[in-house]
Amino acid sequence: MQKKVTLKISGRVQGVFFRVSAQDKARELNLAGWVKNEANSTVTIEAAGEENKLQELIKWCQEGPECAKVDNVEVNWYPAGKKFSSFIIKH
C-alpha cells in the first residue's frame, strides 16, 4: 500500500553526508520525495512509496551514514496524497 512519511532526524546529522546517503537509500528502495537540512541542525525527510520500503528507510535513518550519530527519529505517517517523481535533495 502506498503511504507517505515525514521524518525529523536529530543528532549529529548535518555535515556527515546524511542527505546524500538518504537519497541513495531512498532511490535504492524506489521511494520518491525529498531530504533537507533544517536551520535547527536536524534533517527532514518526506518520502512516499510502499509501506514496507518506508519502514526500511526509517530503520536506516535510525543509524544513518557512518559518521552520523542519530539521537532521535520522529515519524509521522500520512495517506499517499501528492505524488513525487523522484527523490531529491532540497537546499
Which residue type, as a one-letter code, is found at position 66?
E
- Give every CB contact of residue 40 below 8 A, 6+ residues apart in sequence: none
Which residue range(s) make up the domain with 46? 2-90
12 is catalytic: no
Confidence of residue 81 (pLDDT cuts 50, 70, 90): confident
| pTM of structure | 0.95
Q: What is the mean pLDDT of residues 29-48?
A: 97
Number of domains in the chain: 1
Catalytic residue chosen out of the listed positions 12, 37, 72, 76: 37
Residue-level pLDDT at 77:
97
Query: Catalytic site residue 27?
Result: no
pLDDT (tens digit per residue) in 69-80: 999 999 999 988
Query: Domain of 57: which CATH number?
Result: 3.30.70.100
DSSP string, 9-64: EEEE-SSSSHHHHHHHHHHHTT-EEEEEE-TTS-EEEEEEEEHHHHHHHHHHHTT-
